[in-house]
Amino acid sequence: MAGVGHSSFIQDPMPKKAKPFKPVPKRFHPGSLPILYEDHDILVVDKPSGLLTVSTDRESDRTAFAYLMDYVRKGQAKSRSRVFIVHRLDRETSGLLVFAKSEESKRWLQQEWAEFNKTYFAVVRGHLAEKSGVFSSYLAENGVHKMVSVKSSDLGKLAKTAYKVIKESKAYSLLEIELMSGKKHQIRVHLSDQGHAVVGDKKYGQDEKGTKRLMLHAGSLTIKHPYTEEWMTFSSNAPHYFDALMKGPNA
C-alpha cells in the first residue's frame, strides 16, 4: 500500500498549463482532515473513519464538506469561495475523497468518474476460496434502506467488484479491491454475499466484539484533472488498525 499523500502525474503530449493558485494559509487547514492535494480546481483529502462526507438531519457541522467550506472561505462566512461534492464515502469508510472548487469542475469530474480507477483495501473474516476474481450482481435498495443483490436487471443495477487477496492470517484476509462500477455499498454487499463481510460492518455483516471500525479504506485513486486533463494518481495508507487487526492476538 503506497504512502499517504503521494501523487504522480502522466502528462498528455500538450497539457494545458495549470491556473495560478495561491495556497490558503496553514492556520486555516482543518486539523482533523488532511489535505493531500489542492490547486485552483480540485481538493483531495484523506477522510478519517467516523467523519461524514456531507450533512444529515442529525449532523450538519462535523462533515468533510463543512470543514472544507470553512477552509476555502478562510473562516469568512460571506466569502464566495466554496467546494462542490464530486463523490462520497460512507461515514465508516476512510480514505481518499475528491472535491471540486467550481460547478464546472464538478460536472466534468462526475461525467468522467466511471472511467477513473478506484482501489480500496478491506479486511474480511476468513479465507476466500479463490484468491482473485470478480463479483457481479444486480443491486437494489430494499424497504429498510439496505442494498441487496437481486436476480435480474429489471429489479436492480449491475455492479462489478474485482478483488485480490494480498495477505492472510489465521482468521482474516486483507483484500485489494477495484471498483468496476459505482453502486451504493457494492463492496460491502458483494463481500457479505460471499460469506466474508468486511470486518466491523454492522449493516451487512456481524456485530463483532472488540471491532469498533469498518475495515474499508479508499486507498488509491487515479483521475484526470478537469482543466489540464493530466492523469493524476493519489494514494493513502490504510489506517494503523488494519495492520493491528491482521497481526493481533485473535488474527
| Catalytic machinery residues | 90
Q: What is the 3-state secondary structure (H, E, C) of 11-35?
A: CCCCCCCCCCCCCCCHHHCCCCCCE
Q: Tally Cβ neighbours within 10 Å of residue 42.
A: 23
Cell of 122: 478491506
Residue 66 to residues 51, 104, 198: CA-CA distances in angstroms?
11, 20, 28
Residue 190, SS3 per DSSP: helix
C-beta of residue 65 within 8 angstroms of C-beta of residue 53: yes
